[in-house]
A and B are shown apart, each in its own frame.
Chain A
């Protein structure tokens, strides 16, 4: 007993000396959980994620958080912030695999301490892929400058540029970069696009880094939305004629629409492109491979142009001839996508006929961005009222279809009242990451949700940052977050130097 007292005293002295806060002696208990930012209450997290630092937003001047885990407890507090020591966090995670960490929050409001209802941070046994990559971009409309594709080690806070467009050109010769993609979560085979100045598609093919031009006379555009085959050196792309128009009042602000789109296949070794699908009345988009590489999933909207403006009076036909772009703007809410698949024979490299997988139009909705889970059973996608660019649609949510039962899974825990889009699965299929505008409706943040073995979706949490207020002051969106099992090894300077070279033109194969 005496020993314990001395130990406790010694620890207390040490903690005070180290500036570690202590739980207040007296407080008033509250029945609700605290309002913390980012919201990490009752989330399920991987056992290798970086510390979930947060801030308490209840108007307090000071806060203390007690983390109780199977191995003991730690107490943190730094003004309104709770900043967790990385070493201690790892210790807590290791001891809590398959269990939870209980968090008690005490806030000092106007000199009086209150204690909130405890919440849990559940620690899953499964790890998450250690790296993710994303494009950082202002939620802009047509302008681009200072764009970068970044990689983040999500087990720590380390972030690096993969490529920054300012390293190549600026101003009139500015360059837009987009659509980074990896083969089977590995970075030895990866790509991203560069548009306008020094345009082309940057391809890392093992040790080779090259720039290719996928636009041929036969195609409506160069390759756009990519999907690298999980085992073969081939990439499915959509080709798109994309336009933007602006809502004069709607808070959605913008519509991104394709007036034409097809699917193509690019053979990396032969530098050849060929059609996968090119139906005049179909807008095919967002190809993605099943993990076994034997099926290609994609979205497609059936849209027949009339060449005339829609008439106000349904009994009359407006004979004014209009361009496709104009007609699409006028009928944009009619453009709704369903999800399809085509079988693929890896030996002959031929595709089967188109088969409907999920009809969103049946529910008067539009489904895009399909992604298949690691076990091939679940299909995640983004669903909104119309169109293909759901991050601008506040009502858009992530949906998951059980391909075995044909039924949708309850995804409410990972969605928010604001836009969610671009779902991706981790390599082990236990984590789903998506773009989310849950914070403010305008800036996109990566949100990650646990998908357990029973096929249940858990509450999503925002990618942790060292400073809890990071997202408050950060004025860029995290675009197209993708999982990686390893970091990109090619340096940004190497990419820049290759970017300045001429692109090798792809050849169209009938």
Chain B
């Protein structure tokens, strides 16, 4: 984007040169101008008429780039973490708080991110329409309409900065709601401008009340816009000058107080910010993420100063033309710069979203491809999904350490603490056959953040596995009331009506096998799913299910517990008699046999010479060599550094994992 910015400046310079030397075609050819060879800098009416179109196009392209090109995965997740129901009860539910229409419409439109491009086009359409309405609402001079982009850039930024807040926001339809509310506030301002003066008082009162009920805090700003627009731009006022400001201020103060007595679920102190997205999760509060909304709301307070005094388009000359051009260039440049800066482009974050989608669709190879392509360390959630993908593709024993296992914490730009239980844990638990824990976290998260399509789909999966058909049907009925998940629901509805068909639904095969071979005990994960999964499976022994047994062996390896490893290793060998022993299990057996030869005699085990025996020997030699070098140079051994040096060659072995993969913190 920086290149585009530079090009814009270059083009601007070129344009300025043209103005002075060659009289470009857009410079007015008025008789006055013809008289003076080098008159003041002038933007013709024709040119300024074109500028709003240019600004709108510029913004649309910018928004399309950042939404569609950069954030499609986020938009898909946004609709997945949304729930709109096509019934009256849902509308009534939305209306139980101020801003109800905004929430209802916002959640409806968020559904369209199911096809991210479609949803993005609708959102951009709303913004472009808002730009047009803003222009007319304040009767802005064409050249100054660039200012009307400020709130829109704020809205664009608000939609691409969320990052992991996507899992913590308690604002239904976040991606659309404020845009809809702002658009409506602009419409109200337009009505406020064109309505006869006698009706303005009624309009302000009506708008403030019904606008607040429908759109929350933005409506209060709408009232301010109407007031300022009137105060500054109405000449020949019939009303006394203080009347409209007084009515406006009184409405802004009193309407939330009045409404507090109709609503039972808002705090009086929040009355004036109802509907403002709040980035609050427990003790983590991020005010900076609210800045775009504040800019969006405050910027239009100045627009009335850039109004046309009459409706004719005129040439803009001299200082005004200069400042118009300079500010336009600066604003457009700043828009690109700021948008790029706030865009949450952490690779792991986007990869996690894509991985969750792939896991939901059981596209296991996509997960492995994603893991193979990460530029740095993966997050723990990605590692767990990778293990699930390997289990489901039958490559756990050969692939467990082929991918990155280090566990980078989720990147956040603030103090937000990302917990796996609120992100991918329900699906992770589900694919481990722990449906009760998956169900639990879906419900817990729904209590905190509201029910989402993603939760309900997980609840359906869990209740199908546990054969709770009636409650599964309930969740499917809910999904059938959405716009884009009906088909998914209908696919499983057949199964609910005839549970015997479950054998035809192969997507449940592995989970059913794991689930059916696990016992039930009273337990708890203390909010740490990875620790729980590792402990649970590495402590489990099962000989009836090959799948579960392999999972117990794999987690015994991850646990690095020699005592747990051997019985599971021998059981695996027994259950897979005649099959080739996967490489990581061989590595573990060879390593443990060498570390504790007194426990198990590995001399007769048929290890792969090249991949296991020789590799261990070279691994051992190299590590000894590096440590000797380090000792010689510094007198101490830096194990972390040794690991880093050896990683390119041995990072895909259990040997490296055992010795160098340490201090991994789960979330």
Q: Which of B205-222 contact A (CB under 8 A)?
A: none
- Interface 0/1 of A435-446, CB less than 8 Å to B: 000011111000
Q: Which of A234-256 contact B (CB under 8 A)?
A: 245-251, 253-255
Of the candidate stretches A124-132, A136-144, A453-461, A502-510, the one touching chain B is A136-144
- Give every chain A residue within 8 A of B282 (Cβ-Cβ): 171-172
Q: Is A410 engaged at the interface, CB distance under 8 Å to the other chain?
A: no
Q: Contact at A245–B522, with CB atoms within 8 Å?
A: yes
Q: Is A148 engaged at the interface, CB distance under 8 Å to the other chain?
A: yes
Q: Is A376 engaged at the interface, CB distance under 8 Å to the other chain?
A: no
Q: Contact at B437–A248, with CB atoms within 8 Å?
A: yes
Q: How many residues of B contact A (CB 8 A)?
A: 47
Given known contacts A246-B524, A248-B520, A167 and B89 CB-to-CB distance under 8 angstroms: no
Q: Which of A441-498 contact B (CB under 8 A)?
A: 441-443, 467, 469-470, 472-475, 491-493, 496
Given known contacts A141-B444, A443-B471, A247 and B477 CB-to-CB distance under 8 angstroms: no
Q: Contact at B439–A138, with CB atoms within 8 Å?
A: no
Given known contacts A246-B440, A253-B439, A441-B468, A472 and B281 CB-to-CB distance under 8 angstroms: no
Q: Contact at B519–A248, with CB atoms within 8 Å?
A: yes
Q: Is B623 engaged at the interface, CB distance under 8 Å to the other chain?
A: no
Given known contacts A148-B265, A167-B265, A250-B436, A139 and B443 CB-to-CB distance under 8 angstroms: yes
Given known contacts A249-B518, A440-B470, A443-B474, A493 and B261 CB-to-CB distance under 8 angstroms: yes
Separation of A141 and B447 alpha carbons in the complex (Å) = 10
Separation of A114 and B268 alpha carbons in the complex (Å) = 56
Q: Is A164 engaged at the interface, CB distance under 8 Å to the other chain?
A: yes
- Interface 0/1 of A149-170, CB less than 8 Å to B: 0000000000011011011111
- Give every chain A residue within 8 A of B265 (Cβ-Cβ): 146, 148, 161, 164, 166-167
Q: Is A332 engaged at the interface, CB distance under 8 Å to the other chain?
A: yes
Separation of A386 and B261 alpha carbons in the complex (Å) = 45
- Give every chain A residue within 8 A of B440 (Cβ-Cβ): 141, 246, 253-254
- Interface 0/1 of B251-283, CB less than 8 Å to A: 000000000110011111000000000001111
Q: Contact at B283–A172, with CB atoms within 8 Å?
A: yes
Separation of A166 and B90 alpha carbons in the complex (Å) = 19
Q: Contact at A442–B471, with CB atoms within 8 Å?
A: yes
Q: Contact at A248–B466, with CB atoms within 8 Å?
A: no
- Give every chain B residue within 8 A of A138 (Cβ-Cβ): 443, 446-447
Q: Contact at B443–A473, with CB atoms within 8 Å?
A: no
Q: Contact at A473–B89, with CB atoms within 8 Å?
A: yes
Q: Is A334 engaged at the interface, CB distance under 8 Å to the other chain?
A: no
Q: Is A329 engaged at the interface, CB distance under 8 Å to the other chain?
A: yes
Separation of A473 and B91 alpha carbons in the complex (Å) = 13
Chain B nearest CB from A490 CB (Å) reads: 12
Q: Contact at B470–A166, with CB atoms within 8 Å?
A: no
Q: Is B575 engaged at the interface, CB distance under 8 Å to the other chain?
A: no
Q: Contact at A470–B89, with CB atoms within 8 Å?
A: yes
Chain A nearest CB from B405 CB (Å) reads: 26
Interchain CB contact (< 8 A) of A248 among B89, B434, B445: B434
Q: Is A267 engaged at the interface, CB distance under 8 Å to the other chain?
A: no
Chain A nearest CB from B575 CB (Å) reads: 23
Q: Which of B496-530 contact A (CB under 8 A)?
A: 515, 518-524
- Interface 0/1 of B442-460, CB less than 8 Å to A: 0111111001000000000
Q: Contact at A140–B524, with CB atoms within 8 Å?
A: no
Q: Contact at B519–A440, with CB atoms within 8 Å?
A: no
Which interface class (under 10, 10 to 19, 20 to 34, 35 or more) fits A?
A: 35 or more
Given known contacts A171-B280, A439-B470, A473 and B522 CB-to-CB distance under 8 angstroms: no
Q: Is B560 engaged at the interface, CB distance under 8 Å to the other chain?
A: no
Q: Is A145 engaged at the interface, CB distance under 8 Å to the other chain?
A: yes
Chain A, residue nearest B522 (CB) = A245
Interchain CB contact (< 8 A) of A166 among B89, B266, B524: B266
Q: Contact at A246–B468, with CB atoms within 8 Å?
A: no
Given known contacts A146-B447, A475-B446, A492-B264, A249 and B515 CB-to-CB distance under 8 angstroms: yes
- Give every chain B residue within 8 A of A249 (Cβ-Cβ): 435-436, 466, 515, 518-520
Q: Which of B470-500 contact A (CB under 8 A)?
A: 470-471, 473-474, 477-478, 481
Interchain CB contact (< 8 A) of A329 among B85, B474, B522: B522
Q: Contact at B471–A493, with CB atoms within 8 Å?
A: no
Q: Contact at B436–A248, with CB atoms within 8 Å?
A: yes
Q: Contact at A440–B468, with CB atoms within 8 Å?
A: yes
Q: Is B632 engaged at the interface, CB distance under 8 Å to the other chain?
A: no
- Give every chain B residue within 8 A of A139 (Cβ-Cβ): 443
- Interface 0/1 of A165-182, CB less than 8 Å to B: 011111110000000000
8 contacts between A and B (CB under 8 A): A138-B447, A140-B444, A248-B434, A248-B437, A248-B518, A248-B521, A475-B446, A475-B478
Binding site for A on B (CB under 8 A): 85, 87-90, 260-261, 264-268, 280-283, 434-437, 439-440, 443-448, 451, 466, 468, 470-471, 473-474, 477-478, 481, 515, 518-524, 536
Binding site for B on A (CB under 8 A): 138-146, 148, 160-161, 163-164, 166-172, 245-251, 253-255, 329-330, 332, 439-443, 467, 469-470, 472-475, 491-493, 496
Closest 9 pairs between A and B when the two form their complex, measured CB to CB: A249-B520, A161-B264, A440-B471, A143-B447, A440-B470, A166-B265, A492-B264, A245-B522, A143-B444
